[in-house]
Amino acid sequence: MGIEEKLPSGVLLTTVEGVAGYMRKASFWPATFGLACCAIEMMTSGGPKYDLARFGMEVFRASPRQADLMIVAGRVSQKMAPVLRQIYDQMPDPKWVLAMGVCASSGGMFNNYAIVQGVDHVVPVDMYLPGCPPRPEMLIDAILKLHDQVQSAKLGANRIAQIETLETEALAAIPTSAMRGQLR
Domain ranges of the chain: 29-173
* Count of residues making up the chain: 184
Q: How high is the pLDDT of residue 4? A: 67
Q: DSSP readout, the chain?
A: --HHHHSPTT-----HHHHHHHHHHTT--EEEEE-STHHHHHHHHTSTTT-GGGGT--S-BSSGGG-SEEEEES--BTTTHHHHHHHHHHSPSS-EEEEESHHHHH-TT--STTB-S-GGGTS--SEEE-SSSPPHHHHHHHHHHHHHHHHT---HHHHHHHHHHHHHHHHHSPPHHHHTT---
**Residues 23-56: tens digit of each pLDDT:** 777 778 888 788 888 888 888 888 888 888 887 7
Look up the pTM and report it: 0.78
69 vs 108, more confident: 69
Q: Is 103 annotated as a binding residue?
A: yes
Q: Is 138 annotated as a binding residue?
A: no
Give domain 29-173's CATH number out of 3.30.2310.20, 3.30.70.270, 3.40.50.2300, 3.40.50.12280.
Answer: 3.40.50.12280
Q: Is 132 annotated as a binding residue?
A: yes
In one-letter notation, the amino acid at residue 71 is: I
